Chain A
Amino acid sequence: MQRSLHIDPGKCTGCLQCEMACSFENEGAFNPSKSRIKVFTFHDEGRFVPYTCTQCSEAWCLEACPTDAIVINMATGAKEVKDDLCVGCKVCTIACPFGTINYSQDTGKVIKCDLCGGDPACATACPTQAITYIDADATGLDRMRDWAGKTDNAASA
């Protein structure tokens, strides 16, 4: 079954364990500046929101790449960057409307979320289930369930 990363910002505390897990998995060091997932603090609103690549089916980054360095992993559905083909032109970073593929000045290549090949480290590390890795066809299930639960007035009266 193909799975997606599901973000529930209401559960996020801004701890950045996900950013450390991502960088540790990909680069062997705890380094949020190299994380493919970023947590945004909306200070005035009192909200924390993790955000990363949503693995578009028709990916702008893939279409834009002049060297075909971005390929689809058929098992996970993830769009992966092939470092040996990437020339660091950064056209994909301009093409992606969501800003979730970025240049890494240390390597000269671009980096993006690749779902860790099917076992995303961020979801494992998240202490509050703000990030989960669930059935790609059912990411709305929890919300549907919440609203379904409100429908029987007699039961909640």
Chain B
Amino acid sequence: MNITLKLYASLSEFLPAGAVENTVQIEVPERCSLNEVIDRYRVPRRLAHLVLINGHFIEESQRDGPMLKEGDALAIWPPVAGG
């Protein structure tokens, strides 16, 4: 299935070729887990801190289960903060 992958801040370096505005369309297997996507693009798991599907935060404990649906937007940040 087709999903949108967005990697930001220091995770930008793990984006595949063709990404525009930190965003790229990717093909993933039907019941793939978040960790599978994270691992596939070599994002270190400890740096995948803010993991959002369509803007909703996903707990770390749920990253091994099938969470993605066709057309979802998966956005990932390392630990970040500001004011």
Is A–B contact present in the complex under a CB 8 A cutoff? no
Residues on B close to A: CB < 8 A?
none
